[in-house]
């Protein structure tokens, strides 16, 4: 795949959510020619306030469940309960991201993500955690400490980012998110190139309303177990 010549077009008809958001993605280079719209301080203050409030509430609400899951993980297979990975964040700066361990401890920490639930690196409990996205809940800590936000491009591993073209680096002009536009528009079923184009579309159209719509859509996608392996 030639990442310098993106040609994917988002088909609005196949996804009512896209029709709602009126995306016009499909040519990343044309997006790059359009400057990012100026966002007021009100937007960023409100976004950070929502991040803090929601992450605090969800951490407290899910703590009993996470405690039980931690016990089950430790019984299911040997190894740490929590995984700490370096990911590329805002402005290309590395940060430590937290996840519940879903793979056997013998698996490499920095490897390609599973593309199928039958991947033998995934533990028995890990299959359930990944399908339900519960393994991502510790990232609420990242949201609370400000290294991530609730809605934004997903954080990527450094060895993947090192292969990015200049236009793809634009996705780091905002904090990485716990969920994002491409996650609710296909998740891992979409090719990498189209994922990035969704991220760029989000950057050009982000707003408090758009963030809220993505959060609501995320619940439906997670409950539908779509595109998570």
State the pLDDT at residue 36. 55
**Euclidean distance between CA atoms 66 and 81, whole angstroms:** 10
**Euclidean distance between CA atoms 48 and 113, whole angstroms:** 29
**Euclidean distance between CA atoms 127 and 157, whole angstroms:** 21
DSSP one-letter code for 122: B
- The residue with tokens 């997006």 is 31
As a whole-number percent, the residues of the chain with pLDDT over 70 amount to 76
- Per the structure, how many domains does the chain have? 1
Question: Does 21 reside within a domain?
Answer: no
State the pLDDT at residue 172. 93
Question: Does 200 reside within a domain?
Answer: yes
**Structure tokens that stand for 77 in this block:** 């297979």
Burial per residue of 84-94, b for 16 or more beta-carbon CB atoms within 10 angstroms, e otherwise: eeebbbbeeee
State the pLDDT at residue 192. 60
State the pLDDT at residue 110. 79
Question: Does 229 reside within a domain?
Answer: no
Question: Does 33 reside within a domain?
Answer: no
Question: Does 22 reside within a domain?
Answer: no
Residues of the chain with pLDDT under 70: 1-39, 117, 186-194, 225-229
State the pLDDT at residue 14. 43
Question: Does 150 reside within a domain?
Answer: yes
Burial of 19 (0-12, 13-18, 19+ CB in 10 A): exposed
Q: Do residues 46 and 206 make contact, with C-beta atoms less than 8 angstroms apart?
A: no
Q: Do residues 154 and 89 make contact, with C-beta atoms less than 8 angstroms apart?
A: no
State the pLDDT at residue 75. 94
SS3 assignment for 13-47: HHCHHHHHHCCCCCCHHHHHCCCCCCCCHHHHHHH
Q: Which residues, 6 or more positions from 159, have their beta carbon under 8 angstroms from its beta carbon?
A: 110
Question: Does 10 reside within a domain?
Answer: no
Question: Does 11 reside within a domain?
Answer: no
pLDDT tens digits for range 125-146: 999 998 888 999 999 999 999 9
Residue 217 phi, psi dihedral angles, 5° rounding: -65, -35
Residue span of the structural domain in which 111 resides: 40-223
pLDDT tens digits for range 70-82: 999 999 999 999 9
**Structure tokens that stand for 123 in this block:** 């533990």
State the pLDDT at residue 57. 96
pLDDT tens digits for range 140-167: 999 999 999 999 998 999 988 998 888 8
């Amino acid at each position: 795949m030639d990442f310098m010549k993106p040609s994917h077009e988002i088909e609005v008809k196949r996804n009512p959510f896209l029709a709602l958001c009126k995306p016009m993605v499909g040519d990343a280079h044309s997006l790059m020619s359009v400057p990012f719209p100026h966002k007021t301080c009100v937007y960023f203050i409100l976004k950070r306030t929502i991040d803090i409030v929601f992450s605090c509430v969800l951490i407290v609400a899910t703590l009993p469940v996470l405690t039980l899951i931690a016990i089950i993980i430790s019984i299911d297979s040997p190894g740490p309960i929590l995984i700490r990975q370096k990911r590329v964040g805002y402005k290309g700066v590395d940060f430590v991201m937290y996840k519940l361990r879903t793979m056997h401890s013998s698996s490499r920490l920095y490897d390609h993500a599973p593309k199928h639930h039958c991947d033998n690196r995934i533990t028995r409990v890990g299959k359930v955690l990944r399908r339900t996205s519960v393994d991502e809940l510790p990232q609420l800590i990242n949201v609370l400490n400000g290294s991530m936000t609730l809605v934004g491009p997903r954080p990527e591993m450094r060895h993947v980012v090192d292969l990015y073209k200049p236009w793809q680096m634009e996705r780091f002009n905002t904090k990485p998110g716990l969920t994002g536009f491409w996650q609710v528009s296909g998740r891992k079923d979409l090719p990498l190139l189209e994922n990035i184009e969704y991220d760029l579309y989000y950057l050009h159209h982000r707003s408090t309303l758009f963030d809220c719509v993505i959060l609501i859509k995320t619940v439906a996608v997670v409950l539908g177990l779509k595109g998570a392996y």
